[in-house]
Structure 1
Amino acid sequence: MANQIARNFEVMGHIDAVEATADHINMFWDPRMKSQIFADAGTDLSPIAKAAIEELQKGECPPHQTRATEFNSAHEIGQSDAG
């Protein structure tokens, strides 16, 4: 799944795709999923996905990279309602 996320962002260029992938994983993955991929880091991961996982393992939390990870406040409209 991390590779699929990374593939969706790769058009942004490597550095931005790494940040966007890390942001997405940080925001939407269950802690158990994160623990599992941290334990398996590097196994069959694309360069973008691997770099994103390594960034998260260091405790780095990137700022939001896409509107999909920005949440509405209580009565706000016009932004993503994902999650």
Structure 2
Amino acid sequence: MDADNLVRMANRIGQFFEAMPDAAEAAQQVAEHLKKFWDPRMRRALLAHVDRNGSAGLNAMVEAALTRHRAVLD
């Protein structure tokens, strides 16, 4: 999987949820969206990218979602 494409798609999801007034709930919603709609291989590839590169390229909302709710995504 192309990590750059996964980061780009995750950032678009994060941008959508940034409009929510509660940042913690928004991060949870991002994680739930990734769990519900992304293939497990996509989630694993995104998490592997984060493990290798930190939060490189990810917007703050996606970074928060992956950090706080990683157990949901594994």
TM-score of the aligned structures, taking structure 2 as reference length: 0.71
* Runs of 4 or more consecutive aligned structure 1 residues displaced over 2 Å after TM superposition: none
TM-score of the aligned structures, taking structure 1 as reference length: 0.64
Please say if 1:29 is aligned against 2:12: no
Mapped partners of 2:68, 2:24: distance in 1: 12
Q: 5+ unaligned residues in a row in structure 1: which ranges?
A: 62-83
Q: 5+ unaligned residues in a row in structure 2: which ranges?
A: 1-8
Identity of aligned residues (%): 33
- Measured on the aligned residues, the alpha-carbon RMSD in Å equals 1.5
The answer to which structure, 1 or 2, has the higher relative contact order (CA under 8 A, 6+ apart) is: 2
Q: Give the count of matched residue pairs.
A: 60
1:1-80 equivalence runs, <5 A: 1-13=9-21, 14-41=23-50, 42-57=55-70, 59-60=71-72
Structure number with the higher helix fraction is: 2
